[in-house]
Structure 1
């Protein structure tokens, strides 16, 4: 059934399992003065997908109750909202099932019954695809190459225990069309709830790709909740004053018309943050990998995208184009990867580098009897001491020692923690170890292998338990009728294409050496082992300078030692002229991904902050407009 007369208003109420818990209830409670039609919330990530897979496996052999493999924080967010959801007829779609959506459905259904509410709860299945992977491997139908490394699955040195694919939004749309009030999903793509809600509300068809692409982009913009309202935003200093400032950044709303037009806004009641062209640009650049942005329902083509400020906290999305979806969907395969331990030391004052070298030399010698069984052993100095510091804490720098091994017994306290603590008496001046040694005991880690599976091999289903007969309780969602195969690599240009060469030394006037971030915004994130980073500027003439400055080679230089990998780091680049931006994809910068990487920046979110801190020659006339 299609609604007419106004856009659908979709609220983004959670961006991760560690988001604040109040937004679903807050949106529902304020419905009379700030109405929304659907609330969506995202509780899944590559990290909790992998760890939940381990919990799911543990359940099989557990003698008693095992840890749930669905997300518990969603239940905290849902419970206080249920009465208002029922009272105002607000729909809810979430991807909180993680590795046990059916189990989550049972819990939520019981919560609804306990409150005496008449809410219909549906759930979506089909994302669990390990049997399909194994069947295809056995039939020699696919090599299932890793999309980041090119490795064949058969050559992977780990044993898969679980596999999840990314589903589109049409199962959610079907559930709403059948009367569902709450739709629980496992691994749908982060934007799929928004696609599904708009598709249902407006009665769209599958071949209306431009509308789907705009809804897809809207979903990407609000999927991370506060990010599009000023969270994780390099212009955060502008948000400090006025209203609630940055103390209570609000949650977003996407308004999507029947024609697919999108406006991003935010909660009307008192919250901080802002929705601007820059906050929307920041979120748009997050986690994309090139001009083609893939979903199981549609491909959004981003090279012409731009934003238009339509009023206070109102930004329109323009210039999104579409293509058919790919015939495949992304699959994350989980395996038990071994175990990890850590220990932290404090180094203070002068000679930090020399103290770190001394500690590393001594520690390596003490760990030598066990180190041949480690699969990783890293010593990372995190920061530098201030010159002439005004207090002791500002003169103190942590050093992190991290080790991994396939077996827990190779990382027991006698083989890792004890040798490290025993070093204190021969240590550097002021040698002090962190007294919380809990990270020095082995914790399990999970490898995550990303590949592609034909959508035709996925059994996408919607479960409607309130229906009267078995035949009507399950709906099959067919794969897209029209697909397009895209090249394995996104379009990339190593440097800008100008009608005339630009001279960075002379064309922009006098320069001064300083951090790139004095002029340039940036945003980065993770996709498996890849990190992306998008840069943009506030003024059109600054974009000419930015696109000329930021070539692939310059990006490699800015990465410095961080980018010195073997084999050499692959970097892809494209420009977004409508956003005055340049985007980079740094392939395999994050080691093996969030669940197992030894890097401190395991989510890739600080790649942008590091690169903004690097010094380049900045035109003085741009600085005269004010630093970011």
Structure 2
């Protein structure tokens, strides 16, 4: 437990950190079950760019209604609504065992959530100190800097904010782990944060446990950053979203949550809870999570920059993977900040088509609907027709022969997507008008609610100087507020990270006879989103497959595999030989990101699976070992 820390701030043993949540859709049993184990710190991530946008926009709307006097009742807190149900049952074990908790569940109402935790602690008759971290909400700061001429270039496109076309209403930046560390050093048992980086709670735990020097212990802090990244998404590192999922079907109903043993040098061992849970911790599952949502060979945090190219992983026992080789550089002078703006209204309509000649049928429907829209199309910022699915040869039943034609619109004119009846013109009516003139098999979906417009938000990612952030820790039990200045040793890093095709590619013909088939037969993959950028990493299981992978997957090859999905954007590439992985960053690939995208792949998670489905020539000797 935490009480084993020695007087000089360095622990006698590794700190055991458990990852209890990767988002608002995670299992609610986590904190209670983890608190029953031999754990020092429980961390959790409840935020995403999606939730940051929605909570922030609602906060601004509540403030407007309150100022107008039209707020009918005080709204619920703008934080994760499930958090208290997750935390409350665990509080007795947390208090009895001296476990510390650090989470980012506060979203846009961090102080309010901290007060609710305090009230629950008192209700249960426990003695726990609750601190909270503030400073992530930077709307006023951003607006001031805009007026002063700060261009705020987009991290995705490089264009300046003035060219975005939208007016920011809310801004929230990413804080590091130094505030969490200071809260724990000051006696906090539970630290509630808003938008700290996903890995920041683990960074803060390491800083507190070992007393690392923020100004120079960059290798150690970088190791804790990657340790935090590996457990920040909970079961993603124990089998969730894993390419080898088919052999984990046993007990897949309840994957175990991860536990990291963080060492004083920044290396770590990733393991998991047992207790009859499923999943596994293997070099494969840990490699998969490492590759998730990274942007290049440098992984930036507010406290440190981690260098990924030298990472190594070793399976040292069942469900135990040792992670080493992380090097640290000074943190960037800036931190990432997300700006939210009202985009307009969006709606969609679905027509089901069946059987043969699907492309021709879809064209028929699209031409009719565009005709019905007429001049109103000039008021649409997006008018998109997507034929999704296909009819296999000699289909075994009617459902598999049926596909979805999705019609998607976005507009700033709410009237065009308002609730429509049979005699009101608008998006729903444009689609309905053509039902009896439709192609063979034209079938209406039986739920028309999606055709009524809903508000959507645009999200813009840029950088804010850390010196402009008022990072603070509030300790309510003794009425203190602690300022957390940035690290005194920061660096200006370029927007574009190093990118390269492989050195000394091998002649692929040396592998002998091949079979044409999906890349994913022998290659694992993982992808994710950062606003409109998509990242995707690929890895193999055996050493002799590494030369083949790095030689096959060049930037040009990935463009070819993307096929119609390649939109002409820049693609960046680097390698991590220690885990036999190649990583690609697809710039501005995702049509703006979760809250405004017109695609099915709202989070970039399907990019990797799409590419794994593409056919390449696979050496037969690789296939003889078995498929993923």
Q: Is the 8 A contact 1:94 1:193 kept in 2?
A: yes
Partner of 1:395: 401
In the alignment, structure 1 residue 226 sits paired with structure 2 residue 235: yes
TM-superposed CA distance for 1:419, in Å, is: 2.2
Partner of 2:603: 603
Deviations 1:490-534 (A, max 9, x none): 1111x2111xx5322x21101121111111111100011100010
Partner of 1:427: 438
Partner of 1:354: 360
**SS of equivalent residue, structure 2 residue 477:** coil
Counterpart Cα distance in 2 of 1:443 and 1:275:
41
Deviations 1:206-252 (A, max 9, x none): 121111011000000000000000000111011113xx2x1211110
Counterpart Cα distance in 2 of 1:209 and 1:535:
28
In the alignment, structure 1 residue 285 sits paired with structure 2 residue 296: no
**SS of equivalent residue, structure 1 residue 196:** helix
TM-superposed CA distance for 1:603, in Å, is: 0.3
**Out of 122, 128, 131, which is 2:137 matched to?**
128
Counterpart Cα distance in 1 of 2:134 and 2:391:
52
How does 1:151-190 map onto structure 2 within 5 Å?
151-190=159-198
TM-superposed CA distance for 1:580, in Å, is: 0.8
**SS of equivalent residue, structure 2 residue 510:** coil
How does 1:408-447 map onto structure 2 within 5 Å?
408-412=414-418, 413=420, 414-447=425-458
Q: Aligned pair count?
A: 609
In the alignment, structure 1 residue 73 sits paired with structure 2 residue 77: no
Partner of 1:574: 574
In the alignment, structure 1 residue 110 sits paired with structure 2 residue 116: no
How does 1:288-299 map onto structure 2 within 5 Å?
288-299=294-305
Partner of 1:481: 488
Residues 165 and 353 (structure 1 numbering): CA distance in 2 closer, same or farther, change over 3 Å? same
Deviations 1:576-624 (A, max 9, x none): 1111111100000001111111111010000000001111111111111
TM-superposed CA distance for 1:380, in Å, is: 1.1
How does 1:297-336 map onto structure 2 within 5 Å?
297-336=303-342
Counterpart Cα distance in 2 of 1:440 and 1:350:
27
TM-superposed CA distance for 1:370, in Å, is: 2.3
Q: Which moved more, 1:184-193 or 1:66-75?
A: 66-75
Residues 369 and 45 (structure 1 numbering): CA distance in 2 closer, same or farther, change over 3 Å? same
Q: Which moved more, 1:603-612 or 1:19-28?
A: 19-28
Partner of 2:539: 536
Q: Which moved more, 1:364-373 or 1:400-409?
A: 364-373
TM-superposed CA distance for 1:80, in Å, is: 2.2
Partner of 1:14: 21
TM-superposed CA distance for 1:369, in Å, is: 4.1
Partner of 1:627: 627
Q: Is the 8 A contact 1:55 1:68 kept in 2?
A: no
Counterpart Cα distance in 2 of 1:433 and 1:113:
55
Counterpart Cα distance in 2 of 1:151 and 1:67:
37
Partner of 1:616: 616
Counterpart Cα distance in 2 of 1:340 and 1:51:
15
Counterpart Cα distance in 2 of 1:437 and 1:99:
33
Counterpart Cα distance in 2 of 1:576 and 1:3:
31
**Out of 407, 410, 414, which is 1:404 matched to?**
410
Deviations 1:96-125 (A, max 9, x none): 111121222222222222222222111100
TM-superposed CA distance for 1:67, in Å, is: 4.8
Structure 2: stretches of 5+ with no match in the other structure: 1-6, 66-70
Q: Is the 8 A contact 1:343 1:417 kept in 2?
A: yes
Structure 1: stretches of 5+ with no match in the other structure: none
**Out of 100, 104, 114, which is 1:91 matched to?**
100
Counterpart Cα distance in 1 of 2:370 and 2:99:
59
Counterpart Cα distance in 1 of 2:148 and 2:362:
53
In the alignment, structure 1 residue 247 sits paired with structure 2 residue 250: no
Counterpart Cα distance in 2 of 1:513 and 1:82:
55
Deviations 1:31-76 (A, max 9, x none): 2xxx111111100000110111111011113322235321112222
Q: Is the 8 A contact 2:267 2:326 kept in 1?
A: no
**SS of equivalent residue, structure 1 residue 342:** strand
Q: Is the 8 A contact 1:132 1:457 kept in 2?
A: yes
TM-score (norm 1): 0.95
**SS of equivalent residue, structure 2 residue 526:** strand
Partner of 1:338: 344
Partner of 1:211: 220
Partner of 1:586: 586
Q: Is the 8 A contact 2:267 2:325 kept in 1?
A: no
Q: Is the 8 A contact 2:256 2:274 kept in 1?
A: no
Q: Is the 8 A contact 1:55 1:66 kept in 2?
A: no
In the alignment, structure 1 residue 149 sits paired with structure 2 residue 153: no
How does 1:512-551 map onto structure 2 within 5 Å?
512-551=515-554
TM-superposed CA distance for 1:3, in Å, is: 5.3
RMSD value over aligned CA atoms?
Answer: 1.4
**Out of 421, 446, 453, which is 2:464 matched to?**
453
Q: Is the 8 A contact 2:183 2:473 kept in 1?
A: yes
Counterpart Cα distance in 2 of 1:625 and 1:465:
59
